[in-house]
Amino acid sequence: MSDLFYFLRLHGKRLPWLMAGLGLMLASALAGIGLLALSGWFVTATGLSGLLMAAGVAITLDIYRPGAGIRAFAVGRAVTRYGERLINHEAVLRTLADLRLWVLDSLLLQPSTKLAMLRDGELLNRITTDVSALDQLFLRLLAPTLVAILALLAAFAFIAFWTPLPALLVAGLLLSTTLLCILLLVRYGALPGRNLAHGQSRLRQQLIGLLDNLTELRLFDPAHRQANQILDLGAETARRRLQLGQQTTIADCLLLTASQLAVWLMMLLGLGLYGAGIINGPVLVMLVLAVFSLGEILRPLPVAWQQIGRLIWNAQRLRSLQADPIPQLDTTAATAQCDAAVKLDGVWFRHRTGQPWCLQDVSLRIEPGEHIGIMGPSGSGKSTLFQLLQGDLAPCRGRLHAPFGPRSGTTGRGDPPGIAVLGQRTVLFQGSIADNLQLAAPEADSEALWQVLEEVELAGLIDSMPRGLDSYLGPGGRGLSGGQARRLAMARTLLVPAGLLLLDEPAEGLDRQQGMRILERLAANRREQTIIAIAHDRDRLPPTDRILVLRDGSLMDT
C-alpha cells in the first residue's frame, strides 16, 4: 500500500481540481436523491389531493414550490454531472501527465544497463498501461467511496429527521452489506487482479516479440510453439477475467438484494409509522424512494475496490523504475584532488558476484584537452569501460574522477551535461531533422545546426531536401540510410556543450574514406575538448594523442 500512497501524494499537485470534482460528484448524487424523493412526494401528494377533491373534500396544495424544487434538482443534477465530468477528467488527465513526466524523469536517471534488461514492450507497458491504470485511484475508487459515504450520511440525516429508528436500520443494512462486499472482493479479488494484470503484461510482451521475430519463427518454429504459448497465455488471462467477473456478479447481486431489502424495510416500518399517524402518505413514499436511490450510489463501490490488487501491482512496477538511480561520479573529491580531465585509480568491475572481472586494476589519467583512443577485441571490456566513463556504472573497487561532473542535464532541467556520448547504437526520433538536433542543444539556431551538419558532411544532403532542416523523419529516423542516420546522430552529439566527448565506434556504418575525413575534422575542431574514442581497429579511430589497448580487462599502452 505504501507504493499506492506514494502516487496518491502525487495527486496533491492537482488537489484544487480534485476537490472541485469531488464536490460536484457529491452535489450530483444529492441532487439525484432529492429529485427522486421530492418527485415521489409530489406525485403522491397531487394524486391524493385529486382523489380527495373528487370525493368533495376541500383541500389546498402548493404545487409551485415543490415543482420549482423538482426543476432545480433536475437541472442541478444535469449541470453538476456535466461539470463533474469536465473537472474530474481534466484533473485526472493533468495528473496522468504529471505521472508520465515522473516516469520519464525516473527513467532518465536509470543506468542504460538496467533499462536494457526490460523486455520488449515491458517499458512501453509501464509508461502507458500502468500509468493509465492509476486514474482509477481517484476517479473510480477514492472519489466514489467518499461520495457514497457522504451521501449515505446525508440520506441518514434526512430520514432520521422524520423517523430515526428506520433510518438507523436502513443505513446499518446498506453500510454493512457494502462493507462486506468490499472486504470479500478485496480478499478474494486482489490476487486474481494482480495475476490478471501480470498476465496481460506478459501477453503484450509475447505478442510484440512474436511480431518482431515473425520471419525467424516461420523458419525455425514450424510447430508454432511460440504461438501456442501465446494462445495458452491468452486463455489463462481470459479465465482470470472470468473469475473476477463472477466475483463481481455475486457482489452486485448481494448488494442489489440488500438495496431492495432496505427499500422493503423502509416501506414496512414506514407503514407502521403511517398507521400510527407519525408520517403521512407522501412522506412515506418520499422516504422509500430516498432509500431506493442510495443503491445506485453504493453499487459501484465493490467493483472499484476489487481493482485494489491490480492498482497496487501497477504502482509497485512504476516505483521500481525509481529504485536505482544512476551512480554519481565522485565529483567533489575529483575537483578538490584531481586536476586531470578523467582519472581512474585501480578500477575493478564485474556485473555480478562470482562472475569473471570485466575490468581488472585499470588506472588511467587523461589531461584536459587530450584525445585518447582505446582499442580491443570483442569481450575485452571496452563497453564496460565506456559505461563507467559515462556514469551508467560505478566501480566495484577503485575510484573514478571527473571534475566536470556527470550528466546533470539529463532531465532537461539543470546545468548542461559534462559528458557528451555517441553510443554504438544510432537512435533518432520521429520528427524533423532540426528537432532531432535540438534535443542536444534546444537553444541552437539554424546557423549552428548547419555548421555541425557541414562537419559531418550532411549539409549538402539536407540542403537538397525540399524543406531543409524541417524535413520530416519517420520512426527511428526512417528516411535516412544507416550511414546518414549515424552522421546525424554524431552531429547531435557534437552540439552538446560538454567537457568530455565519448565516442563508441564513431565510424560505424561509414565508408572508410568518409569516416576518416569526418573523424580528422572532428579532432581538429575540438582541441580544447577531451575526447575518448573506442573501436576495434586503429583506422576507425580519430587522430589521437595516444592509443591504448584493452585486452582481457587490462589496459596497456600500444
Per the CB < 8 A criterion, the answer to whether 491 and 461 are in contact is: no
SS3 assignment for 438-473? HCCCCCCCHHHHHHHHHHCCCHHHHHHCCCHHHCEE
Residue 262 lies in a domain: yes
Say whether both 316 and 379 belong to one domain: no
Least confident residue range of 317-331, 424-438, 531-545: 317-331
Say whether both 171 and 242 belong to one domain: yes
Per the CB < 8 A criterion, the answer to whether 291 and 36 are in contact is: no
Residue 326 lies in a domain: no
Phi, psi of 205 (to 5 degrees): -60, -45
Q: CA–CA separation, 297 vs 300, rounded Å? A: 7
Q: pLDDT exceeding 90 applies to what percent of the chain?
A: 12
Number of domains in the chain: 2
The distance between the two most distant Cα atoms of the chain, rounded to a whole number of Å, is 120
- Computed over every residue of the chain, the mean pLDDT equals 82
Per-residue burial over 479-488, b if 16 or more Cβ lie within 10 Å, else e, is bbeebbbbbb
Identify the domain containing residue 387 by its residue range: 331-557
Say whether both 424 and 309 belong to one domain: no
Q: pLDDT exceeding 70 applies to what percent of the chain?
A: 92
Say whether both 181 and 287 belong to one domain: yes
Say whether both 122 and 194 belong to one domain: yes
In tens, the pLDDT along 31-57 reads 999 999 999 999 988 888 888 888 877
Residue 436 pLDDT more than 70?
yes
Residue 172 lies in a domain: yes
Per the CB < 8 A criterion, the answer to whether 350 and 341 are in contact is: no
Predicted confidence band at 331 (pLDDT cuts at 50, 70, 90)? very low
What pLDDT score was predicted for residue 113? 66
For residue 103, give the CATH number of its domain. 1.20.1560.10
In tens, the pLDDT along 344-366 reads 888 888 887 878 888 888 888 88
3-class state of residue 170 by DSSP:
helix
Q: CA–CA separation, 129 vs 100, rounded Å? A: 11
Residue 325 lies in a domain: no
Say whether both 338 and 316 belong to one domain: no
- The three grid cell numbers given for residue 308, joined into one nine-digit string: 485494489
Q: CA–CA separation, 437 vs 85, rounded Å? A: 41
Say whether both 284 and 391 belong to one domain: no
Say whether both 98 and 186 belong to one domain: yes
Query: What's the pTM value of the predicted model, to 2 decimals?
Result: 0.68
Say whether both 358 and 253 belong to one domain: no
What pLDDT score was predicted for residue 78? 93
Residue 396 lies in a domain: yes
Q: Dihedral sign, CA of 350, 354, 357, 361? A: positive
What pLDDT score was predicted for residue 323? 55
Say whether both 273 and 380 belong to one domain: no
Predicted confidence band at 83 (pLDDT cuts at 50, 70, 90)? very high
In tens, the pLDDT along 250-287 reads 988 998 999 999 999 999 998 988 888 888 889 999 99
Residue 255 lies in a domain: yes
Of 320, 344, 373, which one is at a domain's C-terminal end? 320
Residue 330 pLDDT more than 50?
no
- The three grid cell numbers given for residue 344, joined into one nine-digit string: 581512474
Residue 82 pLDDT more than 90?
yes
In tens, the pLDDT along 98-147 reads 888 888 888 777 766 666 666 656 777 777 778 877 777 888 888 888 99
